[in-house]
Amino acid sequence: MQTGMTIRQQNTADGRRLDDLRHASAGRTRSNVYRIYYETNSAETDKSGSLTAQSGILYDSVRIVITGPPISLTHAYTGDADGNGFLDRLELHFSRATEFPCNFPKDSVIITYSLGNSTFTIDSINGCGDKDSIFLLFLKEEKGADSTVMQTGWLPRLSLPGLAGVNPISNFLCDDRAGPVIKSVTKKINTTGARDQDLVTVVFSEPVRDFDGRDVWLVNPPVVLFDLWTKIPSRANG
Ligand SMILES: [Ca+2]
Ligand SMILES: [Ca+2]
């Protein structure tokens, strides 16, 4: 490279930008060789662009591609959309947009919970074929041998191998976003003729917390916390 030659950095038209990467240094090492160093620590995605060297009417350019760090799974949230107490989805959050192919082998995904060595299988994948950072795995509900054991407090582990461009996902611990549901309600008549002394016991599928994750203070009377309906035997639907 000759003295007086200028070097310009240009972005390609794909929207990924080189110029947010800082030139660490640039300098001529021999009479016709310049070296330009980029610091890539700030690169969260792939970068591409070109460098053009120009002297007068003479110029040339070279394309540069910097491969960003691999995508990783940041969270896998459990869900119980129909509120029956059994997990029916996992919401996967990745560090940046990726693609979940629709032909991904669902059988290769392993979702387990230690209680009773429970395993879940995937029914379908929401958002497959699109590029996104959030995908939903719809699970087949697994009620196990004892259908009274509800799952809203479970934290399964997820292994999802072979997703292109994504760091291997192995034994990943899920987060709980399945809200508690009412598991049972029983009533005991303590004093005949004094029904206001009836004891009604409501059992939830897991401890109930407030929005900050603290124990709920049941300082409010039941009439504030619960809605009650009276069942009329003469009506078919109560
Ligand atoms: Ca469910
Ligand atoms: Ca829960």
Using H for helix, E for strand and C for coil, what is the string for 22-62? CEEEEEEEECCEEEEEECCCCCCCCEEEEEEEEECCEEEEE
Residue ranges of the chain that CATH labels 2.60.40: 73-173
> CA 64, CA 52: separation in Å to the nearest integer?
11
> CA 141, CA 92: separation in Å to the nearest integer?
18
Which whole-number Å values give the CA distances from 85 to 61, 133, 149, 177, in the listed order? 61, 27, 9, 12
Query: What local confidence, expressed as pLDDT, does residue 182 receive?
Result: 93
Of residues 68 and 57, more confidence is placed in: 57
Which whole-number Å values give the CA distances from 23 to 8, 26, 27, 36, in the listed order? 12, 7, 11, 7
Q: pLDDT tens, 185-195? A: 998 998 888 88
In this predicted structure, the answer to whether residue 46 has a pLDDT above a threshold of 80 is: no
Ligand 2 ion: nearby residues, β-carbon < 5 Å: 152-153, 176, 178
Q: How far is the CA of 179 from the centre of ligand 2 (A)?
A: 4
> CA 95, CA 55: separation in Å to the nearest integer?
42
Q: How far is the CA of 203 from the centre of ligand 2 (A)?
A: 14
Please tell me the number of the ligand nearest to residue 123's CA. 1
Please tell me the number of the ligand nearest to residue 78's CA. 2
Longest dimension (CA), the chain: 106
Q: How far is the CA of 152 from the centre of ligand 1 (A)?
A: 9
Q: How far is the CA of 218 from the centre of ligand 2 (A)?
A: 19
Q: How far is the CA of 11 from the centre of ligand 2 (A)?
A: 47
Asked if residues 200 and 206 have their Cβ atoms less than 8 Å apart, the reply is no
Band (52; pLDDT cuts 50, 70, 90): confident
Length of the chain (residues): 238
Of residues 160 and 20, more confidence is placed in: 160
pTM: 0.71
Band (148; pLDDT cuts 50, 70, 90): confident
**Range 73-173 classified under CATH 3.30.70:** no
